[in-house]
Homo-oligomer: A and B are copies of this chain.
């Protein structure tokens, strides 16, 4: 396979996978592009490569910065902004985990806690509260595990995990 063909396929595939996990396609493509770029890219570079509008580039680059996985970079002698993606994949994984935890898990815990204040003591109410409580417990456990994973080092984590589970 030719390099350009492979790069293209990689960017397209990343975009369509993202779509199936509820992530904006363009956002994923911009990130994919920055990940394999050997130099910082400007908005124009991205517009041209991905064939998308300026507004779209702007919105999605901001979103990536917001996720903490892309940074602005100044190029001396240039007035416009350039962007780079952090190439450390373990850091990338940790950052995404941290954000998803904040965006997906923590809101669930908050809502579940808010709902626990049902006064009734009928069987039905008790069953409902049990579901909420069980959901809270599992969610809290998972949240705790992810917290640990975020703080851990890749090799250490994996080797410990392997040891742990080898029976």
Contact = CB atoms under 8 A, between A and B. Distances in A.
Interface of A: 1-3, 6-7, 9-10, 13, 17, 20-23, 35-36, 38, 87, 89-90, 92-93, 103-104, 107-108, 111, 115, 117-120, 122-125, 127-128, 131-132, 134-135, 137-138, 141-142, 144-145, 148-149, 151-152, 154, 157-158, 160-162, 164-165
Contacts of A125: 3
A23 B127 CA distance: 26
A21 B151 contact: no
B131 A145 contact: no
A9 to B, nearest CB: 6
Contacts of A115: 1, 6, 9-10
